[in-house]
Structure formats: C-alpha cells, structure tokens
Structure 1
Amino acid sequence: MGAWRVTTGDGEGLPFGPGAVSTAELADDGTITAWGPSARRLLGYDAAQAIGLRANRLLADGVRVEGLVSRWCRDGDTGELALRHHEGHTVRVRARVNEMRDADGELRWMVTALPSAEAVRRDVGRSVLAGLADRTSIGLAVLDTDLRYVWINPALERMGGVPAGARYGRRIDDVLPRPASRNVMGVMKEVMRTGRPVNDFEYHGLTDASPDREVALSFSCFRLEDSANRVAGVGYAVIDVTPRFRARERLKLLDEASARIGSTLDAVRVAGGLVAVAVPRFAASAAVDLLDAVVTPTPSADDAPAPRALRTVADSPPPANGGGPLLLIPLRAGGRNLGQVRFLGRAGQPFEPDDITLAQELAQRVATCVDNASRFERERTAALALRRSLLPKDVPRQTAVDVARRYLPAAQSQVGGAWYDVIPLSGARTALVVGQVAGHGLAAAAGMGRLRTAVQTLARMDLPPGELLAHLDDIVVGLHEESNDTDTDPGGTCLYAVYDPVAQRVSLASAGHPPPAVALPDGTSRFLESRTGPALGLGAGLPFETAEFPLPEGGLLALYSAALPAADGGREGLRRALAAGEGSPDEVCGALTGGLPRVPGKDDAVVLVARARGVPEDRVAVWDVPLEPSAVARVRADVAGRMARWGLRDQSFPTELVASELVTNAIRYGRPPVRLRLIRETSLTCEVFDASDTTPHVRRAAADEEGGRGLFLVAQLTERWGTRYTAEGKTVWSEQPLSTPDDTADTPDAPNGPNAADPPGTPDADAPEAEGRDSDGRDGDGRRTGADGRPFTGVPPSRGDGTRGAA
C-alpha cells in the first residue's frame, strides 16, 4: 500500500463532509467488502462488480500492493491516488484511510476519496474560512433570529473591546451604545425579513475599545438559513473604516471652513468662522491671534513697519478637564506674518500626523482669507479717505433750503460710488444732486470725483436739469472711450434737482436714478415720478426730460441712492418715514437711515434731505421795463428807492449801475418783454430777462470807443455774473455781497411779488433826481454820472472794508 501513503498524520489534508465524497470498505487483505453509490459515480463500477475485487485492480500506473493493508497504512493516512476508471481512463483522487472493526472484531479499513480538483477547492474554502474566522482583521459574527450572539471571531473581539464570552446570549443593542445600535438592529431585521443583503452600512459612535473617540464601522449583513431553507439568523462582517471616516470628516471640515471663512472680507469674522468650525469637531478649544496691523490696517505702504502686538480676535471657552496637547500654527500669507492659530486637543488624545496636516491646511486657508481681508480693508480705508476728500466737507451757505445728508458705506463690499452735492445757483436757487457710479473701490471713488466735478462745472452754466444731464452723459461716454475699458460699466446714475425759493418750485431730471420723495406741509407725501432717462454712459442718445413740481415753504425733499430703500423697508417705508419727519432735516436723515452705521448689501447709500425755505415777498422786487432807452433812468431811480427801503443805501450806487448796464444791453440787443428783478437774500441778486437768446460777452473796449464797457463794469462791481437760458429767453444775472443794513430805511417794504413792484418811472421819496441823465446814465455833456448826478470815474465806491468793487 505504499502508493497510498503520500502524507501521514492526523488527516487534515482532506476536508470530509457530505457531497461528492466516495466511500468504500476494504478487508485487511485488500479485498473490497463494501462499495458506496458515490464510488460507483466516481469509478463507474457498481456494487456487484466492485465487491470481492482486490484493491490492486483499481490502482493505475502499474502499481501493485501485496500483503495486508495494515502493513502499509495507519489510521488517518491521506494521500493522492491514481485510480483506473471502469472505462479505462485514470481518475486522480485524494483519499483517506481510517481503521475500524466489524462486529466480529475483524479489522476493516474505511477509504474515502474525493476528486483532486474538488479536494483542492475544498482546501481553499477551508483555508479561507479558517483565515476569516481566526486570522483576518474583519470582524465576523453570527446572531440568531432574536439577534443574540451565537458566535464571533477574534477580530470582532478586538474591534469592539468585548470578549466573546461576554457577548454570547446578549442582544446587539446590549453591546453597542444607543441610539446608534437601533439603526443597526433595524437593518438586520430587514435583512432577515427580505433576504436581501446590505453592504457598507456605517455605524458611527463609541465602543468599549474606543470610549473617548468616535469610530466608524462598516457592516455587511446577510441572512442565514438551515438545510430546510428556514431563517436561522443573520451573519455580519464588520470592517473598521475609522481612518476613511476621519479622512472624509477632515475633507468635510475643510470644505465647511472654506465656505464659512471665504464668504467674508472681515478678518475678525474669518477668525470667528474658523473657531466655530474647529470646535468641537477637531479640537477641544481654539483661538486666533492676529497682529494689530492686520486687525486695524492703515492705507500705508505694505513695507511700512507694523505693530507686532498680538490680539486675540476669536476664541472658544477652555474645556472643563483642562484639555490635552497644544498645537500652534503660524499664519503667513503674501510673505508676511499675520498671527497664529492655537488648537487645544482633547485630554488623552494626542494629535495624529493627519491632524497636524489638517491644522496646517486650515491655518493656510485662514491666512489667505485674513490677508485678503486685510488688503481689502486697507484699500477700503484708502478709498473711503479719497471719497471723503472728494465729497463736500460742508453744505455751502445758502438760504433756499436747510440741508442734511448721510453717507452709509456698504457692509459687504468695498467703498462704492454713491455721491451727493449741494450747489448754490443764481437767483437764490440751489441744486441738489445725488448719483451712483458703477463699481467699487478706488476706481469708483475716482470716478465719483470726476463726475462731481463735471456736474459742478455744468451747474455753473445755469443749464436746465435735462440739458445738464445730456452734457454729463457726453462727458461720461468720452471718459469711457478714453480709458479703452470695455469690460466695465462706463457710468452710473444721477438725479439733478433745482429748487427755486422765489417760485417755490423744484425742477428735476433723472439719468437712471430713483425718483425723489417729497413731504408737504399738509402731511401728504409722494414720489416725484418723472420720465427717467437712460443711465449715464450708455450712449443711447435719448433725451433727458425736465419735470417741474411745486414745493411750498416747509416741504421736505429727499434724494437718495438705490441702496437706501432696501435698508429702510422699501419705497413705501421711505415715504412714510419722510412724511412722519418732524424737526430738522438732520433728524429726518437719521430716521430715514435708521441709525445704521452701514447699509446691508454690496452697494453704499447716500441720502440728502432738504427743507424748503421760500423767499419772502418783501425781499423780491420785479419791474417790467419798456423797450425804450428812456426807461433806463427810471430803472435806476426805482432801484435806488428799493435799496433805500431795504436799508442798503451804501450799495445803492453799484446796484444802480449794474441794473442800468444790464437793462441797457437788453433794450439794445434783446427782444421784449424785458424784466428786472432784485432778490435780497444772503447776497443781492440783480436779474434782467429778455426774450432773445443772444449770448452776452465781456470784452475790453479800446480807449476811443464809446461803448463795450458795460459787462466789464458789471464783472468788476459784482462777485459773479452769468447767463441762464429758458424756453422763453435768457436771464443775465449778477450777485453782490450784502453789507449790514443801515437804520435809515424809510418805510417797511410792501408786499412785492412778481410783477407787483413799483410802476416804472415812479420816483422814490429819497431817490436822487433823475433829470439831466439819459438812459445810459450820462449827463448832458456825455459824462457817465452816478445816481447823485456826479461824474463817475469808473472806480467803484469803497465798501467800508478797504476794498472796492467786487472780488
């Protein structure tokens, strides 16, 4: 039987069990005494053919075994055999020989055989099962139908920290912490009910092996059945995926930190966002310390020496147990130090290498955001300083309106291009301007300054609002073409309004800007809706229309940028706040802005509130002048009388001269009607209207010329003069500073509205005699004379302050 002995030992070389295993019984002399059905399938011999044969007959390859089997085999021997099939071919099997005794005590040998290929597969399966049960890192367990432990492998003992003996007979929810164990039990019950396995179901929580730090376990569950296909329980495999889980959590924490700290340009909010994300998910506590120069940047150069003091701008409460290790990460970006981040670990849990990498990545992202915020704030500070230098410092002195204003920078962006202006105009009028330049930062501040300068220049030309915006639009288009910048919005919006306190009316035009709101003394309020033109710089070629509205004395007019209604509850909220406004315009401004230091959103806001102040009728004098040269003398007499009534005798002569020169030009070169108006406010305004559109010009007359000196004299005698045009004609005006009224005014002024003044030619009681002077103020010898008939030398009289004439 030497051919049978390949290996000897305890018989582990062949996995025995049901299935394709063939059995036969041999007597000690090698005679076959029993033959199983599976042996017939293996070698093709039925029982009748096999029983009684010697085993040598079945051996292939010419092997012959003589003598007793007991001489060659021992109980439990296994080996590889080559057997001859009934049809003649060779069948290789793995066999085992076991010793046994029959009822008479005779020695018998039980031979079991399995085809070699099947034996190899069974060997592999047995090895795999043994490896899974004893040598793998995968935890395995079998539970009965009540989900009580029946069997677990050593890996699961190590993973859960509970020995096998303590698990047997206990339910899974008695081992795993609640409520996470209920989710696992629910999955297992569903697997037993449906038979569908579940793979990679993750459990996150604490275990006895890791009581202080959360772990992640991946469950794969499958149903177990008995030989009758009845549900016998559930088996599951567990893999510790804590490293994968923590890596995923680190990435998730990085994403959340980037989203939270990357959405703001405020260094303090960036630091606070990091602390909120890191605690308690990454550390027991955290703090961010920044340099003073980072927290409060100045618009100085980047290489300027900065204070080195650290300031804690965000932190979390320290842990009750004192915490664990301390991790310090420097903050650096753009080649400069910004501060540091402090992470305090949990007690008994040192930072792992991956934790340190995560902390460095968090610090780098915070440093980048803090650096961006610092640079943004520095540029914002510079832009804010620039725009403050370009906006009006104080409201100019004028009497038409009481004005208050507010500028609210945007809370979520750089300094924008919202601006305002108050411009005194001729005839005691005042221009109120509000605009919005496209963009933010230094470019917007510079654009705002250029736009404001252009508006001031055009306003000095006394253009109607619509015509002024048309010229402003041309300027903006030209500036944009000059810059060759095709990627940005070239202009912005503008609202230009002019209040006339004499007529108590406001005229306005809009270039893409929201309409102003008005509150009248009777308690009503509304928006002055007009046809809004296109925004500046669009080059649409559309006209800007001028609209007029009444605004009686005491009424409130509010101009604002588009961002203000959003901060104050919309247009209706603004209208209601304006209607309820009582007191000074400054108080109304505060009510409209709600006391906000900044306006929410990305665009800054301005609000300009003006309370109308009409000019009393006794401070305005109007005369209709006939188109004849003789009217000039009567005009001078009327002006002298009016100046005496106003207590301005010292300024009577230059005013007479200015009025006579302007009226003379209107009579000679204009068209009727001709009208003279004097307005006494903070300055004395003299206006002459006629229906022509001829533009007067100042020129220097030659020594031998009789004329050409009129406007030159006007320019010398007044502070300023100019011409404004209307649809009906033009008005040439001049302004003189007022001296202190004297106490010799004859009588109180009578009501004197437009076209209700003293009739031309009516001599004033104290007016100098006008006889002997022609319409040009000359005596009979052709010499220019004053109101008192004395020759005029061309030098204006003294004002009493050492100066002569006008500035």
Structure 2
Amino acid sequence: MGAWRVTTGDGEGLPFGPGAVSTAELADDGTITAWGPSARRLLGYDAAQAIGLRANRLLADGVRVEGLVSRWCRDGDTGELALRHHEGHTVRVRARVNEMRDADGELRWMVTALPSAEAVRRDVGRSVLAGLADRTSIGLAVLDTDLRYVWINPALERMGGVPAGARYGRRIDDVLPRPASRNVMGVMKEVMRTGRPVNDFEYHGLTDASPDREVALSFSCFRLEDSANRVAGVGYAVIDVTPRFRARERLKLLDEASARIGSTLDAVRVAGGLVAVAVPRFAASAAVDLLDAVVTPTPSADDAPAPRALRTVADSPPPANGGGPLLLIPLRAGGRNLGQVRFLGRAGQPFEPDDITLAQELAQRVATCVDNASRFERERTAALALRRSLLPKDVPRQTAVDVARRYLPAAQSQVGGAWYDVIPLSGARTALVVGQVAGHGLAAAAGMGRLRTAVQTLARMDLPPGELLAHLDDIVVGLHEESNDTDTDPGGTCLYAVYDPVAQRVSLASAGHPPPAVALPDGTSRFLESRTGPALGLGAGLPFETAEFPLPEGGLLALYSAALPAADGGREGLRRALAAGEGSPDEVCGALTGGLPRVPGKDDAVVLVARARGVPDDRVAVWDVPLEPSAVARVRADVAGRMARWGLRDQSFPTELVASELVTNAIRYGRPPVRLRLIRETSLTCEVFDASDTTPHVRRAAADEEGGRGLFLVAQLTERWGTRYTAEGKTVWSEQPLSTPDDTADTPDAPNGPNAADPPGTPDADAPEADGRDGEGQDSDGRDGDGRDGDGRRTGADGRPFTGVPPSRGDGTRGAA
C-alpha cells in the first residue's frame, strides 16, 4: 500500500504568517511514513532517520501512540505531548491527530505539532483579532486603493450609523458628509503614498448616527501591503472622542468668555460679551437680565432697598424653529442678587449635565465681573461728583485776562487727577494754575482737591511762583508721610503762572509740568522754556526757579496737562494750533482740542487759554513818596485829585484815609524808596511799596493808646488787604469795591507817575497847609496820624467825628471787610 504524504511544510498561509508547525504521517501501526522539514527542526531528526521509526520511540513520559491517537481522533481535539529530541532532551508541543485514507483506502494518521510556547502566542493573537473585529468599541475598516470599503467591524457600523452592506464598494466621501470627508481622504491618500502612518487625526462633523449634533472621531491610518510588498489599500481605526472634544470646547468657550467679559468694567458690555461667546456655540439664543440698580448704580446703592425690576441688557435673536430647552441661571455675587442669564437650547438637544455645569460657571464669572463693574461705577460716580465739586464751577471774570478752558475726562474706566484754577491776586494780577495728580479714582480726586486747596491758600499769601511751589512740595511730602502709603505715587505736577497786566509780564515756575505755550500779537509762537523743578512729593530738596517773560496785550498763554500734546501729535502740533488760533479764548480752546481722538485716553486732558489784557495807563496812578512825614498831606491831595478825575468822589475819603495810613506806616517803619500806586479796575487797589521786609500786623490798640489803629482802619474800610514780598521789598495793598462813577469826573486824565500834574510836595488848594506830624505826634489840623482827634475819636476830613462805617458801594452794601 503506497504512502500518502502531506506537504504543508512550514505552515504557509496560517494566521499570523509563517510559523513552526511540524507535520508527520503515521501508518495504521504507528510507523512514521512521512516527515516534514519543520519536524526535523523541532526534534532534530532528518527525514531519512525518522521515516520507518515507530512513533512510540519519540514519545516521552511512557505514553503510547495507539491510545493517544484513538482518543484524539475520537474527541477531535488537541493535546499536550512530551516528545524526545534526537539529542535526548524533552520538547513539549501541542499536537492534533486527524484520520485520513490514502488512494488505496488504507488508514493514515496526519499529525501536526506546534511548540507549546508558540501555540500560546497564536491563541492570544486569535483572541485579539476576534476582539478587535467583533467585541471592541474601536471602529476598524479596510479600504482598497480607490478608498472603497472592503471590510468594517460592527463597532464602526454603530459609530457611523451606516451598516456594513451599505458601505462595501462605496468611497469614504460617499459615507461621511462633505467637506470634512475630503480632509480625511486627503490624509489617507498621503498615507498610501508615503507609507507613514497618521495617528489621532480628528474629524469634526455630523454622521448618520448623530445627524443634529457635531461629533468628534479620531482616525489612525496605516498602509496595507500584500506579500509582494505592493500597496493593497489602507486600514484605519476610529475612536469616538466626542466627550473629550466637547470638554475641550467647553474649556475653550469658558476661556474666551473670561477674556472677553473680564476686560471691561462696564456691566452692559460684560453681558454683551457673554451673549456673543455663547451663541451659537453653546446655545441657540441667550440673554442677560440685570437689576436696574446694577445697570445704573448710585453712590448710595448699597444702602437703598434693592429694586426688583429686571432689565434685559444683552440678548440674541431667537432661533427660527422656536428653540429647545430653557436654562435659567441666577447671577449672584457679594451676597446680593444681580439678575439672571437665560440660555435657550436647540430643538431636540437637551442640555447635558456638563452643559449645566458650564452654564453655572459662565454665570458665576459674569456675576463677578458685573459686580466689579457695578462697584467700580459707584466709585467712579463718587469720584466724578467729588471732582466736579472740587474744580471751579466757572472761570471767574478777570481784569487781567480773558480765560477759557477745556476739561476732557479720561476714558470711562478712569477718573484722572488733572485740574486747573484761576485765582485773582492783588494788584489786578491773575494766577493761572494747571496740575496733574498721580493715579486715578477717588484717591486722585481727593488728592486733586487737597492740592488745589493748598495752592489757593498759598496764592493768597502772594508768594512768588517758585516759593509757592516749594511750600506746596513740603505740603505734599507731609501728607504722604501722614498717609503711610508706600504703594502709590505721592504727588504730581503743577505749573503756576502769574500775569501782571500793569507790567504786562508773566512769571511762572514748574514742578515737573510741561512748559506753557505763548502766541504773541505779531504772529510768533513758542514755548516758555524755563528750568523745570522736580515733581511734587519727591522730597528732592531742589529749588523751584521763577522765570519772567513779557506778554503784551492781546497775547495768548496756554497751560495744559501732559495728556493734551500726547494725544494731539506732540508739542509742535499744539504750538501750531495755538499760533493759528483766532477769536476768543474759548474758540482757541476749541481749536486746540478739536483734533483730539474721539476715544479718551487714560489720563485727563486739560487746557487753559488766557488772552492778556493790559491795564490802560489812565487807570493807573503812581507816586514816589519822600520818606518824610510831611509827604502824607501831599499823598491825600494827590489821591483826592485822582479820585475826582476817575469820577469816584464818593469813595475819595476812605481811599485817602487808607492811602495815608499805609504811607504813614511805610515812612515810619520802612526804608526808601516808598511808592504809592492806585489801580482802577473791577475794584480799586491801593498799594504802597517800600524796601523793607518787616511784616505789618493788625493789633487791637488799648483805649489810652494814641496810635496802633492804622491797619485796623484799613481792614475796616476795605474789602481785603494784605502784603506781598519781592526781592526788592514788600508791598502792602488793599482793595475796595468800586461804586458807579459820578458825572463830575475831571477830564482829560492827568498823566501817571512822577510826572503827574500834581507832583508830590506841591500844596493843593483843598489840602491843609501841611500834613506832617508835630512834635506831639499830631497833624497840623489837630488830628493824629490815624484819623483821630485829640480825644481819640475817629474824624473825617472836615474834623467831624467819623463813625467807622465805610461809604456805600453803590449797591446798598458796605465796603468793610
């Protein structure tokens, strides 16, 4: 009977590629009739040695072939065997025995064996393949070179919503919606071309399984090759990463919303920012409703009962299909209700638990921002009210200058500390001030008020500009030290300028402030550059120098804050605009600020424009007074004559008395030269200059004292009086309100100064022969030097007792201070 040989050899074509499967054929009596090459590698016998041997010689552990073969063939199973290697050691295999017959009908046994370790690996491989194909949640697919489906697993069917039968033979772009499918196909073509796999390529879009809500699928693609290394197609694995994608989108939306609503301190813009971010990415429609007290806060909003009226401050159009579920989230922050947020979902898409969590987080962040905006707005409103109360309500009308100003507040989120002031001074002069306090908000407004008050107080002391700023710097340093605040800038900047319309000059000093600009009547313009001192509050101890410049009548002087040239193209642009300015100071202010950007800057912008108005010569009278008592009578006569020429006879006597008292003090206690000056403007100013620096004081004289009442009389007869000091000496001045000029004014006016028509020392027809004091300290007419008779009573020019009540102003009120 001929032997039938099996030639399966090395197991080509078995799962997982070639393996070490050994084959042999046994006759019915157990003799080996065929021996494969793998069997030789497994046990060390070649075919010539093995064929003809009884199989029992190869079995270890006393097992007999006959019983083993009959049992395995009957059960149709495999079993573990211990075989004896040609070299004597034991080899454990997993074997299978199959019954067969040859062409002559004789019984044969086909034995296949595999090393046990290899068999275990093959079992694991089969389990993995079966799991991937049938039981995994990972979608698997094989496509040919035209990217048509040839095989998919059940997971991909469930994931895409398209059964396997409907996919086979179709391209991937016929299954996935366009245009996203084109991106997937492009990636797969590149994988087939290069052989480089692509991992975690995400597809975002709709599928048949999720036609209404976007899903995210992660593709991993690899090229397939046949046994000849030819490209056979592409395989891909798909994982549904929609939860990861939606979580990432929620975080992204939350981050964008935070950046958008957190960049503003306006409650309405905060609400609008949320709606813009949430629709349509999170909801089909959204709206924010805020309480009225939140939208329009007042400084006392915390103390007032909370109103319940809601106002929709931001919303989006409702969806065309009516929308889906409604989500209402309250807005609460700082222990108070602020409003609510409404999210309207899409039809058929309920909000998931993670969506609700996101909505709550969005609402909390909006509430925090709205609360911050509301608190800021209350503080800003208070700061604005404080600033308005501290700044001049209106620029007072000045004799020396025509003044106009522009105040451009900082951006809505800021309340700056720029300020200005116009202060009337003695001698018809005017102080112009512009400053800038560091910082913003209530602190800046309060600092501005303190600085302005300090400047006004120092200005009334008639200090030179440099000396005034030195005192102001000391005040700022002291205030900062008292506050114990080390986090904020202690002071600011200030420019103080004084215009004298009689001399037609301006003197100024600067503490870290930009220099003023001037435009002269001849058309030239420039900046009044001077040595700028340090900013206020630095405590540097450096002096503030006073500089003087001519400013003729009609010239323009512009003071400004640093924000103005910064916003208007620099100092040169401001100078050109001032030079081209025509018309009133208000029109010039408009020209200077007209080119500023519509969006305010971070600091206030202030501009103060003054047009110089000189005092006409016929309104000023000046006399040099000899340092001798007899000059007092001449002074009275000259004053009386000047008052007559000005049509102010009803005010002649108090003016004569004031002038004589001031001149008497200068003669007694001062040093030459002594000079008297009258200035007639909105008020009547009487000034006496001498070269000493002694300070006059008002004192209350005792009843038995003959003197000491001069300055007391001056204080009673005038509206105000004071002393100002210069490097040359001091000037004691007084001001009286003017009455309406009478009809008896003498014209034309006599010239002023030492060449006046009535020079000092020339007796006047109406004056006593002499007004010097005699040896007893009395005037020649029996009255002492401060207008009292021998009994100490006040007397008038005619010697009658004087009641001390000054003459009427003309409006029914008295002129005493």
**TM-score, normalised on structure 1?**
0.92
Shift of 1:438: 2.3
Question: In the alignment, is the contact (CA less than 8 A) between 2:740 and 2:810 conserved in 1?
Answer: no
Work out the CA distance in 1 between the residues paired with 2:391 and 2:16: 100
Question: In the alignment, is the contact (CA less than 8 A) between 1:558 and 1:609 conserved in 2?
Answer: yes
Question: In the alignment, is the contact (CA less than 8 A) between 1:465 and 1:509 conserved in 2?
Answer: yes
5+ long unaligned stretches in structure 1: none
Shift of 1:74: 4.7
- CA deviations 1:731-760 (Å, max 9, x no partner) are 111000111111111213356479778533
Q: Equivalences for 1:388-537 in 2 at 5 Å?
A: 388-537=388-537
Question: In the alignment, is the contact (CA less than 8 A) between 1:3 and 1:81 conserved in 2?
Answer: no
In terms of mean alpha carbon deviation, does 408-417 or 443-452 score higher? Answer: 408-417
Question: In the alignment, is the contact (CA less than 8 A) between 2:283 and 2:345 conserved in 1?
Answer: yes
Shift of 1:38: 0.5
Question: In the alignment, is the contact (CA less than 8 A) between 1:34 and 1:51 conserved in 2?
Answer: yes
Shift of 1:177: 3.5
Work out the CA distance in 2 between the residues paired with 1:651 and 1:4: 155
Question: In the alignment, is the contact (CA less than 8 A) between 2:99 and 2:107 conserved in 1?
Answer: yes
Given the superposition, is the C-alpha separation of residues 148 and 517 from structure 1 closer, same or farther in structure 2, using an over 3 Å criterion? farther
Shift of 1:536: 1.1
Shift of 1:14: 10
Shift of 1:216: 1.6
In terms of mean alpha carbon deviation, does 346-355 or 222-231 score higher? Answer: 222-231
Work out the CA distance in 1 between the residues paired with 2:4 and 2:673: 144
Shift of 1:657: 1.1
Shift of 1:374: 0.6
SS of the counterpart of 1:662? helix
Given the superposition, is the C-alpha separation of residues 285 and 678 from structure 1 closer, same or farther in structure 2, using an over 3 Å criterion? same
- CA deviations 1:645-682 (Å, max 9, x no partner) are 11100001111111111122222222222221111111
Question: In the alignment, is the contact (CA less than 8 A) between 1:689 and 1:729 conserved in 2?
Answer: yes
Work out the CA distance in 1 between the residues paired with 2:399 and 2:2: 132
Given the superposition, is the C-alpha separation of residues 43 and 700 from structure 1 closer, same or farther in structure 2, using an over 3 Å criterion? same
Shift of 1:620: 1.3
Shift of 1:244: 0.6
Shift of 1:793: 6.5
Question: In the alignment, is the contact (CA less than 8 A) between 2:619 and 2:680 conserved in 1?
Answer: yes
SS of the counterpart of 1:151? strand
Work out the CA distance in 2 between the residues paired with 1:64 and 1:116: 20
Question: In the alignment, is the contact (CA less than 8 A) between 1:413 and 1:603 conserved in 2?
Answer: no
Shift of 1:789: 6.7
Work out the CA distance in 1 between the residues paired with 2:431 and 2:328: 60
Question: In the alignment, is the contact (CA less than 8 A) between 1:565 and 1:574 conserved in 2?
Answer: yes
Question: In the alignment, is the contact (CA less than 8 A) between 2:739 and 2:810 conserved in 1?
Answer: no
Shift of 1:47: 1.0
Matched, 1:772 2:758: no
Work out the CA distance in 2 between the residues paired with 1:97 and 1:481: 105
Shift of 1:376: 0.9
Given the superposition, is the C-alpha separation of residues 385 and 31 from structure 1 closer, same or farther in structure 2, using an over 3 Å criterion? same
Shift of 1:190: 3.5
Work out the CA distance in 1 between the residues paired with 2:53 and 2:388: 119
Given the superposition, is the C-alpha separation of residues 693 and 351 from structure 1 closer, same or farther in structure 2, using an over 3 Å criterion? same
Shift of 1:626: 2.5
In terms of mean alpha carbon deviation, does 787-796 or 188-197 score higher? Answer: 787-796
Work out the CA distance in 1 between the residues paired with 2:481 and 2:329: 50
Question: In the alignment, is the contact (CA less than 8 A) between 1:6 and 1:80 conserved in 2?
Answer: no
The residue that corresponds to 2:775 in the other structure is none
5+ long unaligned stretches in structure 2: 771-780
- CA deviations 1:671-710 (Å, max 9, x no partner) are 2222211111111001111222222122223334333222
SS of the counterpart of 2:74? coil
Question: In the alignment, is the contact (CA less than 8 A) between 1:139 and 1:156 conserved in 2?
Answer: yes
Work out the CA distance in 2 between the residues paired with 1:625 and 1:657: 16
Work out the CA distance in 2 between the residues paired with 1:404 and 1:184: 71
Work out the CA distance in 1 between the residues paired with 2:292 and 2:595: 29
Question: In the alignment, is the contact (CA less than 8 A) between 1:404 and 1:589 conserved in 2?
Answer: yes
Work out the CA distance in 2 between the residues paired with 1:573 and 1:147: 70
Matched, 1:681 2:681: yes
In terms of mean alpha carbon deviation, does 9-18 or 133-142 score higher? Answer: 9-18
Work out the CA distance in 2 between the residues paired with 1:10 and 1:78: 19
Question: In the alignment, is the contact (CA less than 8 A) between 1:647 and 1:742 conserved in 2?
Answer: yes
**TM-score, normalised on structure 2?**
0.91
- CA deviations 1:299-338 (Å, max 9, x no partner) are 1152420321111111112222222211111101111110
Work out the CA distance in 2 between the residues paired with 1:731 and 1:295: 58
Given the superposition, is the C-alpha separation of residues 369 and 613 from structure 1 closer, same or farther in structure 2, using an over 3 Å criterion? same
Work out the CA distance in 2 between the residues paired with 1:87 and 1:163: 58
- CA deviations 1:465-506 (Å, max 9, x no partner) are 110010011111111112222222222221211122222222
The residue that corresponds to 2:778 in the other structure is none
Given the superposition, is the C-alpha separation of residues 802 and 214 from structure 1 closer, same or farther in structure 2, using an over 3 Å criterion? closer
In terms of mean alpha carbon deviation, does 647-656 or 235-244 score higher? Answer: 235-244
SS of the counterpart of 1:66? helix
Work out the CA distance in 2 between the residues paired with 1:195 and 1:659: 112
Shift of 1:342: 0.9
SS of the counterpart of 2:715? helix
Given the superposition, is the C-alpha separation of residues 156 and 780 from structure 1 closer, same or farther in structure 2, using an over 3 Å criterion? closer
The residue that corresponds to 1:593 in the other structure is 593
Work out the CA distance in 2 between the residues paired with 1:100 and 1:114: 20
- CA deviations 1:246-275 (Å, max 9, x no partner) are 111111111111111111111011111111
Work out the CA distance in 2 between the residues paired with 1:513 and 1:16: 88
In terms of mean alpha carbon deviation, does 768-777 or 575-584 score higher? Answer: 768-777
Shift of 1:775: 8.4
Work out the CA distance in 2 between the residues paired with 1:225 and 1:435: 83
Work out the CA distance in 2 between the residues paired with 1:715 and 1:58: 143
Shift of 1:642: 1.0
Question: In the alignment, is the contact (CA less than 8 A) between 1:218 and 1:238 conserved in 2?
Answer: yes
Work out the CA distance in 2 between the residues paired with 1:273 and 1:2: 93
Matched, 1:761 2:764: no
- CA deviations 1:136-161 (Å, max 9, x no partner) are 11112223334333322222222223
Q: CA RMSD in A?
A: 4.0
Shift of 1:381: 1.2
Shift of 1:413: 3.2
Question: In the alignment, is the contact (CA less than 8 A) between 2:3 and 2:33 conserved in 1?
Answer: no
SS of the counterpart of 2:3? helix
Q: Which of 779, 797, 800 is the equivalent residue of 2:807?
A: 797
Counting aligned pairs with the same residue, the percent is 100
Work out the CA distance in 2 between the residues paired with 1:389 and 1:181: 68
Question: In the alignment, is the contact (CA less than 8 A) between 1:474 and 1:537 conserved in 2?
Answer: yes
Given the superposition, is the C-alpha separation of residues 765 and 255 from structure 1 closer, same or farther in structure 2, using an over 3 Å criterion? farther
Given the superposition, is the C-alpha separation of residues 101 and 468 from structure 1 closer, same or farther in structure 2, using an over 3 Å criterion? same
Work out the CA distance in 2 between the residues paired with 1:97 and 1:681: 136
Question: In the alignment, is the contact (CA less than 8 A) between 1:2 and 1:65 conserved in 2?
Answer: no
Given the superposition, is the C-alpha separation of residues 67 and 569 from structure 1 closer, same or farther in structure 2, using an over 3 Å criterion? closer
Shift of 1:340: 0.6
Question: In the alignment, is the contact (CA less than 8 A) between 2:224 and 2:232 conserved in 1?
Answer: yes
Given the superposition, is the C-alpha separation of residues 13 and 234 from structure 1 closer, same or farther in structure 2, using an over 3 Å criterion? closer
Question: In the alignment, is the contact (CA less than 8 A) between 1:636 and 1:656 conserved in 2?
Answer: yes
Question: In the alignment, is the contact (CA less than 8 A) between 1:29 and 1:68 conserved in 2?
Answer: no
Work out the CA distance in 2 between the residues paired with 1:94 and 1:774: 148
Given the superposition, is the C-alpha separation of residues 492 and 67 from structure 1 closer, same or farther in structure 2, using an over 3 Å criterion? closer
Question: In the alignment, is the contact (CA less than 8 A) between 1:75 and 1:99 conserved in 2?
Answer: no
- CA deviations 1:380-420 (Å, max 9, x no partner) are 11222222222222333432223333433322534232222
Given the superposition, is the C-alpha separation of residues 669 and 377 from structure 1 closer, same or farther in structure 2, using an over 3 Å criterion? same
Given the superposition, is the C-alpha separation of residues 321 and 2 from structure 1 closer, same or farther in structure 2, using an over 3 Å criterion? farther
Shift of 1:713: 1.4
SS of the counterpart of 2:67? coil
Question: In the alignment, is the contact (CA less than 8 A) between 2:678 and 2:686 conserved in 1?
Answer: yes
Question: In the alignment, is the contact (CA less than 8 A) between 1:14 and 1:123 conserved in 2?
Answer: no
In terms of mean alpha carbon deviation, does 526-535 or 672-681 score higher? Answer: 526-535
Shift of 1:573: 3.8
- CA deviations 1:179-216 (Å, max 9, x no partner) are 43343334334333443322222222233332332222
SS of the counterpart of 2:342? strand
Shift of 1:130: 1.5
Question: In the alignment, is the contact (CA less than 8 A) between 1:428 and 1:500 conserved in 2?
Answer: yes
Shift of 1:222: 2.2
Shift of 1:590: 4.0
Given the superposition, is the C-alpha separation of residues 522 and 678 from structure 1 closer, same or farther in structure 2, using an over 3 Å criterion? same
Shift of 1:437: 2.0
Work out the CA distance in 2 between the residues paired with 1:767 and 1:179: 113
The residue that corresponds to 1:75 in the other structure is 75
In terms of mean alpha carbon deviation, does 740-749 or 179-188 score higher? Answer: 179-188
Work out the CA distance in 2 between the residues paired with 1:779 and 1:804: 24
